[in-house]
Amino acid sequence: DAMVIQNPRYQVTQFGKPVTLSCSQTLNHNVMYWYQQKSSQAPKLLFHYYDKDFNNEADTPDNFQSRRPNTSFCFLDIRSPGLGDAAMYLCATSRVNSANEKLFFGSGTQLSVL
């Protein structure tokens, strides 16, 4: 089935140690998003890519970066994770670059920072 796949499901890193989260999609969608979701809170948009055009939210911390080497893959890099970065990270896609489009979410990567 076409889907959004995130790896790994659980990631443990040490304080300050760089970590990369991965997302792939078989939907051939133009837009990919990274959301951060902390416990009992709404997903918070970090970035999105429309094709290769990168869009960063104003309040996304500077130690968060993203790469999209091709249509299918997108990566979230956290250069120096702090304890406050422990969260669920959700990747999503949409067919076109519009907020009025259905989002397809992956199952997320739960990041723990020790």
Residues interacting with another protein, by CB under 8 A? 4, 31, 40-43, 45, 48, 50, 55, 90, 92, 97-100, 102-103, 105-108
Nearer to another protein, 65 or 104 (CB): 104
Minimum Å gap between C-beta 75 and another protein is 17
Partners of 85 in beta bridges: none
Residue 52 burial by CB count (10 A; 0-12/13-18/19+): exposed, middle or buried? exposed
Nearer to another protein, 70 or 100 (CB): 100
Task: Give the number of C-alpha atoms closer than 13 A to the C-alpha of residue 14, restricted to the C-beta side.
Answer: 1
